[in-house]
């Protein structure tokens, strides 16, 4: 989370993911579009479990310099107009230069950014290419993680944590982490991955997100099995698989919830529409897209226990994929048992 990013400008997060994979001996490569693919094949013939998340977060693309102090910038991502108030602090990247949001420049989502100072030394040489809100990168306190970009770096970190745990246990699993670019502007990276011929069509795709906290879910009450988003309802059998595993894990202390999270459309919709059996998990997010009450720009935040529960559920989902049909068939067996009882009781009465 200490690596600022915006749509199309994910290079710092990209390098951080590569470094973590190298540290833990995970195979990591990039495709022609700049997405990252992380592989763990402890059991190559097993049904692949694909974990998907994205690197970017809403931010500004610098279009051109207007004069010594002003830049013209386009904002990418879903933030209501009322939050773009002149004077809101931003940071120009690279170079970490302080600036403030200026006036709108005629076109939708195009603004002036005015530099308010220049850093000394080598950072002054770097020509900025994008800008982010001037917010703390990362803070952990009171059982929460807060920062500029929980969405979706918590998802990226959870993929890596699950892969590291599976590798440490030498679990018999075949897992592929898909870490994509430019999700905030139409999940462009996810679309290129979903259309890639090399992803096995029999894979189970699990999309990871931080999703706007909406009733009935509550932050701190565990990982959310997400039955759908604003656009789609996800695969019923795949969702049942996660639900059954979560229910079985309750005895070990797992806290979980199940809900339709309609605050936005996520990458699961893209993978599902391209023919993959798809489900999703998420954690409840505060200040979604940095939008706080009273039109303030503020840090996003999540509950640490929710993110840890998400990793635990993903690890078990990957480990038990060979029992997918048995686990999801439990409902059918219960219904047929109920049918036999129903026939007998209805005739009797």
pLDDT tens digit sequence for 227-238: 999 999 999 999
Q: Which range of residues forms the domain containing residue 324?
A: 11-57+139-328
Residue 2 inside a domain? The answer is: no
- Is it the case that residue 124 has pLDDT exceeding 60? no
Residue 340 inside a domain? The answer is: no
User: What average pLDDT score do residues 208-226 get?
Assistant: 95
User: What average pLDDT score do residues 97-123 get?
Assistant: 83
User: What average pLDDT score do residues 76-80 get?
Assistant: 94
State whether 168 and 298 are in the same domain. yes
pLDDT value of position 120: 52
pLDDT value of position 127: 86
State whether 240 and 173 are in the same domain. yes
State whether 76 and 175 are in the same domain. no
State whether 124 and 167 are in the same domain. no
DSSP string of 103-167, one letter each residue: EE-SSTTEEEEEE-----GGGGTSPP-EEEES--S-EEETTEEEES--TTHHHHHHHHHHHHHHH
- Is it the case that residue 201 has pLDDT exceeding 80? yes
Global confidence as pTM? 0.93
State whether 223 and 281 are in the same domain. yes
- Is it the case that residue 31 has pLDDT exceeding 80? yes
Q: How confident is the model at residue 121 (pLDDT cuts 50, 70, 90)?
A: low
130-173 per-position pLDDT tens digit: 999 999 999 999 999 999 999 999 999 999 999 999 999 999 99
Q: Which residue has the tokens 């710092």?
A: 12
State whether 80 and 184 are in the same domain. no
State whether 242 and 187 are in the same domain. yes
State whether 116 and 262 are in the same domain. no
Cα dihedral across residues 5, 10, 15, 20: positive or negative? positive
Residue 110 inside a domain? The answer is: yes
State whether 224 and 211 are in the same domain. yes
pLDDT cut 90: percent of the chain above it: 89
pLDDT value of position 122: 47
pLDDT value of position 95: 85
Domain end among 79, 98, 133: 133
Residue 96 inside a domain? The answer is: yes
User: What average pLDDT score do residues 1-26 get?
Assistant: 96
Residue 267 inside a domain? The answer is: yes
User: What average pLDDT score do residues 48-59 get?
Assistant: 97
User: What average pLDDT score do residues 84-95 get?
Assistant: 94
Rounded to whole angstroms, the Cα distance separating 349 from 347 reads 6
State whether 189 and 257 are in the same domain. yes
State whether 269 and 126 are in the same domain. no
Rounded to whole angstroms, the Cα distance separating 40 from 177 reads 8
Rounded to whole angstroms, the Cα distance separating 225 from 246 reads 9
Rounded to whole angstroms, the Cα distance separating 39 from 31 reads 13
User: Would you say 91 and 73 are in contact if contact means Cβ atoms under 8 Å apart?
Assistant: no
Domains in the chain: how many in total? 2
How far is residue 31 CA from its own chain's centroid? 19
Residue 193 inside a domain? The answer is: yes
């Amino acid at each position: 989370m200490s690596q600022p990013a915006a749509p199309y400008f994910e290079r710092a997060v990209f390098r951080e993911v590569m470094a973590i994979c190298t540290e833990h001996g995970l195979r990591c490569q990039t495709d022609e579009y700049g997405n990252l693919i992380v592989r763990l094949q402890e059991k190559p013939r097993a049904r692949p479990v694909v974990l998907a998340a994205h690197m970017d977060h809403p931010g500004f693309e610098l279009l051109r310099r207007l004069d010594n102090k002003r830049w013209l910038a386009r904002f990418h991502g879903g933030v209501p107009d009322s939050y773009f108030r002149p004077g809101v602090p931003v940071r120009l990247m690279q170079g970490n230069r302080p600036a403030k949001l200026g006036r709108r420049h005629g076109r939708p989502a195009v603004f002036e950014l005015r530099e308010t100072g220049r850093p000394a030394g080598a950072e002054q040489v770097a020509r900025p290419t994008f800008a982010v809100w001037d917010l703390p990168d990362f803070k952990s306190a009171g059982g929460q993680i807060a920062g500029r970009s929980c969405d979706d770096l918590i998802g990226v970190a959870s993929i890596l944590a699950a892969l590291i745990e599976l590798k440490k246990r030498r679990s018999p699993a075949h897992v592929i982490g898909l870490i994509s670019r430019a999700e905030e502007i139409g999940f462009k990276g996810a679309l290129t991955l979903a259309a890639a011929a090399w992803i096995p069509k029999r894979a189970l795709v699990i999309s990871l997100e931080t999703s706007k906290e909406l009733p009935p879910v509550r932050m701190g009450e565990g990982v959310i099995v997400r039955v759908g988003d604003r656009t789609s309802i996800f695969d019923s059998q795949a969702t049942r698989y996660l639900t059954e595993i979560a229910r079985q894990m309750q005895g070990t202390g797992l806290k979980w919830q199940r809900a339709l999270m309609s605050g936005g459309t996520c990458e699961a919709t893209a993978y599902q529409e391209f023919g993959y059996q798809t489900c999703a998990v998420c954690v409840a997010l505060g200040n979604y897209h940095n939008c706080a009450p009273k039109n303030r720009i503020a840090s996003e935040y999540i509950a640490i226990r929710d993110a840890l529960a998400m990793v635990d559920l993903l690890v078990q989902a990957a480990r038990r994929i060979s029992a997918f049909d048995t686990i999801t068939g439990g409902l059918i067996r219960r219904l047929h048992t109920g049918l036999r009882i129903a026939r007998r009781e209805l005739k009797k009465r």
